[in-house]
Amino acid sequence: MKKQFYNYTIEALKKDLIDNNFKAYNAEQIYKWVYENNVTDPELMTNISKDLKSFMIDNFSFDLLNLISQQTSKNGTDKFLFELHDKIVIESVLMKHDYGLSLCVTSQAGCSMGCSFCASGLINKQRDLTAAELVIQILSVQAIKKVKITHIVVMGTGEPFDNYDNVMDFVKIINYKHGLQIGSRHITISTCGIVPKIYEFANEEIKANLAISLHAPNNDLRNRLMRINRAYPINEVIQAAKDYFDQTKRRVTFEYILLKGINDEIEHANELSDLIRGINCYVNLIPYNPVNEFSFKKTDESRADRFYQQLIRRGINVTLRKEMGSDIDAACGQLRLKNHKQSLKNID
């Protein structure tokens, strides 16, 4: 069976070529052809030898993803449902911002974190995605939309730090100067709070951005919303965020989904500001995209603005993310879940 080329960091490709009696510099040549020039037919790579062309043809695959469906929101957000080689389906979301095009990529097929408001966990984790399967989400969307993606957020289905090694290889590939050339400040990795991995991430050579899904300002509420909090309580998560900044000097983002009547009261805003005061961070308030299987409701705009203004009054750097894709299956895992249900119906 051929190996998926997009699994290879530059260092891994160099090693593989050297082990097969080629030169390390050949890896740079091939990377430039594939990532800079979008050439995946080795016969067209004019500066590599005939033997290396044959080796590449015999040993490497450059397959992209099979598109099952695509939804486009009225605000231009695109959601893609892709099929992997083993028929597992995943989602990617393309978002338009003032600063460029951001792709939200999936890191696992399903999720085992069990957050009580998230559609991703309604289908149990089937497996981790490989580095290649993250890379080709970008390449597939770029090919479909004929665009250049400028920003990456690993915030789709799955917990990236539960698939740590593959996600880090993915970051190396897309950040490399002859890879997709996406700068570290344009890459954000989100975690629900796996504390040991936050410390490991702080030691990575590529200083991508860290986002922590907080969603509650205290242990009692976070225990109800996020099962991970029972393993890594909120005080440990906050301490890890402080230590991360001290080591990297990179500002931390706290993600906070607003759930009507659950975590959106003024006292929650006050408690949140007390919790994170003194950390170089900002809070990203996110409107909830309702999921039929859950009873959670979206906070209305006036209530969300009140929460936002209270954080500002208390000296917290905060953004209130504009609504993106509420007219499509925008919540993480929602389109995949719909496809899964339809598949079961067809079997019946």
End of a domain among 27, 42, 61? 61
Same domain for 139 and 281, yes or no, is yes
Same domain for 272 and 153, yes or no, is yes
Residue 290 has pLDDT above 70, yes or no: yes
Category of 278 on φ-ψ map: left (φ > 0), alpha (ψ -120 to 50) or beta: left
Same domain for 185 and 328, yes or no, is yes
Pick the catalytic residue: 36, 83, 91, 200? 91
The amino acid sitting at 213 is: S
Same domain for 168 and 23, yes or no, is no
End of a domain among 14, 41, 61? 61
Same domain for 20 and 73, yes or no, is no
How far is C-alpha 190 from the geometric centre of its chain's CA atoms?
7
Residue 338 has pLDDT above 50, yes or no: no
- Which of 182, 45, 190 is CA-nearest to residue 105? 190
Domain with 56 in it: 3-61
Confidence class for position 228, pLDDT limits 50, 70, 90: very high
Pick the catalytic residue: 104, 115, 192, 332? 332
**Rounded to an integer, what distance in angstroms lies between the CA atom of residue 141 and that of residue 119?**
22
Query: Annotated catalytic, 301?
Result: no
Query: Annotated catalytic, 265?
Result: no
CATH of the domain at 11: 1.10.150.530
CATH of the domain at 162: 3.20.20.70
Helix and strand numbers, DSSP H then E, in the chain: 11, 14
End of a domain among 28, 44, 61? 61
- Mean per-residue pLDDT for 127-136? 98
**Rounded to an integer, what distance in angstroms lies between the CA atom of residue 140 and that of residue 148?**
11
Task: Give the number of other Cβ atoms within 10 Å of residue 47's Cβ.
Answer: 10
Same domain for 55 and 117, yes or no, is no
What is the number of structural domains in the chain?
Answer: 2
Length of the chain: 348
Could you tell me the pTM of the whole model?
0.91
Instruction: Give the model confidence (pLDDT) of 173-224 as tens digits.
Output: 999 999 999 999 999 999 999 999 999 999 999 999 999 999 999 999 999 9
Same domain for 299 and 191, yes or no, is yes
Instruction: Give the model confidence (pLDDT) of 54-76 as tens digits.
Output: 999 999 999 999 999 999 988 88
